Amino acid sequence: MGILYFNQKKKVLDHLGTGDMLMFLFLCFCFSVVSFFILFVFSLVFSLVLHLVLKTKYPRHQSVPLAGYMSVYFSAVYAISLIMHYNSIFIN
């Protein structure tokens, strides 16, 4: 049973890049727990929608640049929080 779990986990880790893992690690220290989970889930949804939209325009690219899409999302969230002077989503 442990061998099946390890093989499945290894397949998942092969698809996640080092940049993805580093971004997840650093983002978890930037936000409070609740804010992190909410923003993380919405960034994954944003990445999926953006990939599906761009996949129709560029069908040859099958991989998802997850860290890139998520960085666009978090940059937009950060910019909006600076413009609206709303910084309670960040750890004080």
Is 92 within a domain? Answer: no
Q: Give 13-60 pLDDT, tens digit per residue.
A: 566 777 888 888 888 887 788 888 888 899 999 999 998 898 888 778
Write out the E strands in the chain.
none
pLDDT digits (tens, 9 = 90+) for 64-83: 788 889 999 988 988 887 78
Please check whether residue 18 lies inside any domain of the structure. Answer: yes
Q: How far apart are CA 88 and CA 14, in angstroms?
A: 36
Residue 12 pLDDT exceeds 80: no
Residue 88 lies in a domain: no
Is 24 inside any structural domain?
yes
Tokens of 32: 């409070």
Query: Would 90 be classed as within a structural domain?
Result: no
What's the structural domain count of the chain?
Answer: 1
Tell which wins on pLDDT, 68 or 7: 68
Containing structural domain, residue 10: 2-83
Cα gap 55→5, rounded to integer Å: 31
77 belongs to a structural domain? yes
Is residue 15 a part of any domain in this protein?
yes
Residue 42 lies in a domain: yes
Kindly list the distances between the CA atom of residue 63 and the CA atoms of 10, 26, 32, in Å, as whole numbers in the listed order: 17, 23, 30
pTM, 2 dp: 0.71
In which band, very low, low, confident or very high, does the pLDDT at 10 lie, cut at 50, 70 and 90? Answer: low
